[in-house]
Amino acid sequence: MAKSKFPRKLPLMAGIFVTVLSVAAMNSPSTEQFLSPGGDSEMHEGMSCDQCHEPAEGTIRQQVQANVYHWLGSRQQGADFLTHPVESADCEDCHPMKENFHPQQKLRKPKYNELDTMLGIRECSSCHDHHSSSVMQHAMTLCMHCHEVWGKKPDTTTPTHVELIAQGRWETCLQCHEFHGGHQREKIFHLKDAHNVDAIQNYLDGKSAAPYGDLRTPYLKERGTPR
């Protein structure tokens, strides 16, 4: 039987070439306007990719080669292509959380391991997508996963927290409390004085500004600039 003259590696090489060409074109400065993160969000709108994405090590050829070897099973790990994934430390450069009600060091305690496996709570990207106009990816009822028992703390609100928990009214949490506490808000003791549920949902969906008030620490307009 005659051997085929068609090079067996040609499809692989062609695929690699097309992939590199496509990704390189998408990451070109001339196309960043079509890939601008944040959708309609004023926070990230118009930002260049390198504001959030740090360049990956190695040349494009080395990165492609490492990933091909990984796909073929001859390398344990692949390599980041063009840029590193965005991590929480990248977010914190522009979004400081000095008075964060849910700091990462607290959420890294062993008692939160199961919750982290279920929801992912230890990275900013678990709740926030920097390419989306939405502020939060989870539902307003997120608080139910940790606060289903009030305990012996003072309960001076009307209705009380115990009553709201018993009624399963988890959507009311964010009407009075902000998850990170990054805005200058006044304490609320009566549900009738709380923020409207629709206003909160519109904020989480990226359709309106935060109803809680002004930011304690304004976000940077460009990464690396002084405050």
Query: Could you tell me if 38 and 123 lie in one domain?
Result: no
Domain residues for the domain of 21 are 10-85
Q: Which of 50, 66, 85 delimits the end of a domain?
A: 85
Q: Tell me how crowded residue 189 is: count the other CB atoms within 10 A of its CB.
A: 11
Q: Which of 41, 59, 85 delimits the end of a domain?
A: 85
Query: Could you tell me if 161 and 205 lie in one domain?
Result: yes
Query: Could you tell me if 64 and 17 lie in one domain?
Result: yes
Q: What is the pLDDT of residue 134?
A: 84
- 127 assigned to some structural domain: yes
- 5 assigned to some structural domain: no
- 3 assigned to some structural domain: no
Q: What is the pLDDT of residue 164?
A: 95
Query: Could you tell me if 97 and 116 lie in one domain?
Result: yes
Q: What total of structural domains would you count in the chain?
A: 2
* DSSP assigned state of 50: G
Give the list of residues 6+ apart from residue 68 with CB closer than 8 angstroms, or none: 12, 16
Decide if 155 contacts 162 (C-beta within 8 A).
Answer: yes
Give the list of residues 6+ apart from residue 32 with CB closer than 8 angstroms, or none: 48, 49
Per-10-residue mean pLDDT of the chain, 227 residues long, equals: 55 59 52 48 70 87 86 86 87 82 87 88 86 84 89 91 95 92 88 94 89 83 64
Residue 142 Cα distances to 7, 111, 145, 204, 224, angstroms: 55, 17, 6, 12, 33
Q: What is the pLDDT of residue 31?
A: 46
- 33 assigned to some structural domain: yes
Query: Could you tell me if 142 and 224 lie in one domain?
Result: yes
Query: Could you tell me if 29 and 106 lie in one domain?
Result: no
Distance CA(132)–CA(129), nearest Å, equals 5
**pLDDT tens for residues 169-221?**
999 999 999 888 888 888 899 999 999 999 999 999 888 888 988 888 877 77
Query: Could you tell me if 111 and 50 lie in one domain?
Result: no
Query: Could you tell me if 132 and 44 lie in one domain?
Result: no
Query: Could you tell me if 123 and 217 lie in one domain?
Result: yes
Residue 220 Cα distances to 43, 49, 137, 189, angstroms: 9, 16, 22, 33
Query: Could you tell me if 80 and 106 lie in one domain?
Result: no
Residue 49 Cα distances to 123, 132, 173, angstroms: 20, 14, 35
Q: Which of 85, 107, 136 delimits the end of a domain?
A: 85
Query: Could you tell me if 151 and 176 lie in one domain?
Result: yes
Closest CA relative to residue 46, chosen from 60, 30, 35: 35
Q: What is the pLDDT of residue 138?
A: 84
Query: Could you tell me if 107 and 147 lie in one domain?
Result: yes
- 125 assigned to some structural domain: yes
